[in-house]
């Protein structure tokens, strides 16, 4: 295993990579080796919430479920923000119960995510996936204990180079999410931006993996 893809919606079936595949409670695929599972803020259906939380609770107890998510807050979707906050909080409490990290979807609601983390006293690692904002937002997240994952926007937006360079090596992950580019391509660009070799970057990600996932898969790296 040489590459860790922190967040994707479809496994690349690459023997050199561990894909953390996003799953939804009502569309679960048992054949996926390693996954996260959660209620995305776009897809909250009030009548299904409790049943889906029950599924998530059960899956989090298994070894192959490495994290909860993606879950979070999105001010640009039609779902009631109050309902989003309620569902997000319930999932964070499940993360604490099972001591599993959280893959976070956040759009225009970083302050609210930080506030909820503090309010609930969340101790498990919380990782903002698909980061696309500026250094000020990144610094605020880092100061409040978050990790940050880069992928799609790192490739599509050259302005993120400076932001990515500013992230401490022990606080980031890399991902593909929904893009066609491979995780190897994301690693190559990240290594170029950090001015390090692919091998050095792999070591950094491996160390971060061990920290965040509590060495659940220590034999994978």
Per-residue model confidence as pLDDT tens for the chain (221 residues): 599 999 999 999 999 999 999 999 999 999 999 999 999 999 999 999 999 999 999 999 999 999 999 999 999 999 999 999 999 999 999 999 999 999 999 999 999 999 999 999 999 999 999 999 999 999 999 999 999 999 999 999 999 999 999 999 999 999 999 999 999 999 999 999 999 999 999 999 999 999 999 755 555 54
Q: Residue 80: which H helix or E strand, with range?
A: none
- Element housing 66 (H / E): strand 65-74
Q: Are 148 and 135 in contact (CB under 8 A)?
A: no
Strand partners, 148: 128, 172
Measured CA distances, 21 to 47, 88, 122, 196, 214 (Å): 25, 19, 23, 27, 18
Q: Other C-beta atoms within 10 Å of 7: how many?
A: 27
105 labelled ligand-binding = yes
Q: What's the rounded Cα separation, in Å, for the pair 116 and 87? A: 12
Cis peptide before 64 (omega within 30 of 0): no
Residue 129, marked binder: yes
Return the SS3 of 19: strand
Q: Which residues pair with 68 in a beta bridge?
A: 37, 102
**135, exposed or middle or buried, with CB in 10 Å at 0-12, 13-18, 19+?**
middle
Predicted pLDDT at 221: 47
User: 40 a known binding residue?
Assistant: no
Q: Is 161 annotated as a binding residue?
A: no
Dist. CA 199–CA 187, nearest whole Å: 10
Domains of the chain, CATH where assigned: 3-212 (3.20.20.140)
Burial of 145 (0-12, 13-18, 19+ CB in 10 A): middle
Chain centre distance of CA 13: 19
φ/ψ region of 196 (left if φ > 0, alpha if ψ in -120 to 50, else beta) reads: beta
Q: What is the pLDDT of residue 214?
A: 75
Output the pTM of the full model: 0.95
Q: pLDDT tens across 71-101, in order?
A: 999 999 999 999 999 999 999 999 999 999 9
**And the tokens for 3?**
């590459």
């Amino acid at each position: 295993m040489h590459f860790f893809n922190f967040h994707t919606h479809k496994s690349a079936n690459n023997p050199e990579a561990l894909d953390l595949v996003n799953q939804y409670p009502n569309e679960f695929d048992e054949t996926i080796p390693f996954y996260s599972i959660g209620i995305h803020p776009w897809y909250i259906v009030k009548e299904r919430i409790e049943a889906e939380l029950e599924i998530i609770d059960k899956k989090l107890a298994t070894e192959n479920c490495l994290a909860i998510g993606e879950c979070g807050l999105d001010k640009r979707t039609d779902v009631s923000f109050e309902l989003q906050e309620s569902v997000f909080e319930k999932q964070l409490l499940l993360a604490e119960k099972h001591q599993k990290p959280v893959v976070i979807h956040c759009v225009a609601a970083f302050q609210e995510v930080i506030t909820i983390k503090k309010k609930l006293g969340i101790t498990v690692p919380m990782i903002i996936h698909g980061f696309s904002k500026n250094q000020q937002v990144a610094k605020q997240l880092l100061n409040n204990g978050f990790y940050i994952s880069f992928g799609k926007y790192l490739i599509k937006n050259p302005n993120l180079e400076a932001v990515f360079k500013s992230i401490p090596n022990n606080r980031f992950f890399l991902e593909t999410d929904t893009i066609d580019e491979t995780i190897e391509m994301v690693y190559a660009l990240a290594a170029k931006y950090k001015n390090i070799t692919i091998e050095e970057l792999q070591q950094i990600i491996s160390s971060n993996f061990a920290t965040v996932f509590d060495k659940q898969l220590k034999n994978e790296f």
